Structures are given as C-alpha cells and as structure tokens.
Amino acid sequence: MEEPATDAPPAGRAPVLSVEGFSGPLDFLVEMVRRHRVDLRQLSILALVDQFVAALEAHADDVPLEQRSAWVVLASQLVLLKAQLLAPAGPEEAERAEEEAQRRMAQLEELALMRAAAEWLGARPQLGRDFHARGQRERPTRPRSEMVLAFLEAVLVMLEGRVGREVTPVTPYRPAPPDLVRMPEALIRIREILTARPAGGPLRHFLPQIPPGHPQAALKRRSAVASTFLAGLQLAGEGVLRLEQEAPFGPIFLSALDATPRHA
C-alpha cells in the first residue's frame, strides 16, 4: 500500500526549489554552487526567494524553528552571492567579488559542520526529556509561628536598646520669609494717598520707600510694583479710583473716581 503523500520535507532536509537550470533541495543547491556545478548567474534569484518564502510559510508548524533558521541562513548566503555576481564595477571588483564568494563558500562549509554538530547534539538524550536527574531533597522550612516569634524578639531587642537613651531634639529648618510688599499694604497706602490727594499721580508715587541698603531691595521693589498694580485694579473694579494710561507701555496714573480725569 502506498503511503499518503505529504508536503513537509523529510527530517533534516531543506525545502525543494525548482527554477530554470536547477531543481532540488536548498542545501543541495548550495553544495552544487560551492562545487561550481551550478552557475549561480543563470538562476533567477527572485523565483528562488518566492519559492523559499512559500516553503517557510507552508512548513511553519511542522518544521522546528532551528531548522527553519538554518534555511534562512542558506538562502541569505545565496542572495548575497547572487548580488555580488550581478554587476561588478570592473575587473578588480570582479576579482574581489570572487574572493568574497570563496570566503562565503568557506563560511557555508563551516555552517554545514555546525549544522551537523547541532543535529548530533539534538539526537543525543536530552536532560528533562529523555532522562531525569536524581531528585533533590527539599530544604526544611521553619514553621510560620517560629518565624513570627523570631521577628517579634528582634523588634523587642531593638526597642530595649533605646530605653534610657536621651533623645536630642531636632530643630526643623525654617527659612526666613522674604520681605515683600503685600497686597493689603498696597490697598491701605493707595486709599491714604487718594484721600489726601484725590488727583493722584503715576503708579510710582504710590510705591513705598525702600532703603538703598535693604538686603532684598530688588525683590521688595518688584513685589511693591506688582502688589500696587493689582490693588489698583481691585479698587478700580470696586469703583474707588480710576486707572489711566495715555500710551501703550506708558506710565499708569491713579486718581480718585470723583477727581477730574487727566484727558478732560
């Protein structure tokens, strides 16, 4: 009785390729090229690649991964050799390509030896699959109650070591707050100045006097300008004063609401 046909390649054999001038397994093609029995220039590399990819997809489930990876290496070597033989730039380039091809052939021979060694190792009995090592004795573990008791004893020893020791208080570091002009201060100053002089004046007349030797003079001056301007906006919204600016980026004038406007 005839055995049913199968598309899967035999164990250890590469996929069968069929192009003009050659028909056979991939590894046989590589061997024939190495022995100069097949002219690689006459073979269609596109057809080889198409058939090789189809073979990989067809046997993705029934061929081991290491065997398919060996196929990929063989196919890549053929593609590289074909690329080097297609269009050398000149005689010198052709000679270099031939030398490179010879070197690649030597690498293919080394690959064949490595593949043979891998097949030999794969055929040997495997630990954990064909035979098993002698079982090891389990290390005894302490009961959970003993572990909890040992932890509590360690905590007690650590706490007892602190009894009777004087604890030095640690003073937390609190940096001194910066000397700034706050908005409440600016509101009070604006109201006092407008009460005494309803016509008001430019914004700088409402700023507090800052001594030249003040350690934070620049920071306090900037905070005074910002707080005074915000206070003026708040009082203008409340209907207490009027803010005027005659030109963009020009000085800002503050005056009481019942005072005569500057543009009048």
What proportion of the chain, given as a percentage, has pLDDT over 70?
A: 81
Q: Which residue has the higher pLDDT, 19 or 119?
A: 119
Tell me the percentage of the chain whose pLDDT exceeds 90: 11
Q: In 3-133, which ranges are E strands?
A: 16-19, 22-25
DSSP codes, 46-60: HHHHHHHHHHHHHTT
In the structure, what pLDDT confidence band is assigned to residue 264 with cuts at 50, 70 and 90? low
Least confident of 80-84, 153-157, 183-187, 227-231: 80-84
Q: Of 202-211, 219-228, 255-264, which gets the smallest average pLDDT?
A: 255-264
Please report the pLDDT score of residue 88 as a whole number.
60
Q: What is the pLDDT of residues 100-117, one digit of tens each?
A: 888 888 888 888 888 888
Backbone angles phi, psi at 22, to 5 degrees: -160, 145
- Looking at the predicted structure, is the pLDDT value of residue 7 above 60? no
pLDDT digits (tens, 9 = 90+) for 175-215: 888 888 899 999 999 999 988 998 888 998 999 888 888 88
Residue 185 pLDDT:
92
Dihedrals φ, ψ of 20, to 5°? Answer: -65, 120
Task: Report in angstroms the alpha-carbon separations of 157 from 68, 144, 150, 153, 161.
Answer: 64, 20, 11, 6, 6
Question: Average pLDDT of 36-62?
Answer: 78
**pLDDT at position 3, please?**
37
Q: How far apart are CA 76 and CA 45, in angstroms?
A: 11
Entry pTM: 0.35
Looking at residue 137, its pLDDT comes to 62
pLDDT tier, 233 (very low <50, low <70, confident <90, very high otherwise):
very high
Give the mean pLDDT of the chain. Answer: 78
User: Would you say residue 230 has pLDDT above 90?
Assistant: yes
Average pLDDT over every residue of 132-144? 65
Whether 135 has a pLDDT exceeding 70, the answer reads: no
Confidence class of residue 227 from pLDDT cuts 50, 70 and 90?
Answer: very high
Distance CA 233, CA 38 (A): 94
pLDDT greater at residue 20 or residue 9: 20
| Pairwise CA distance, residues 3 & 188, whole Å | 108
pLDDT at residue 225 in the model: 92
Given this model, what pLDDT does residue 89 score? Answer: 61
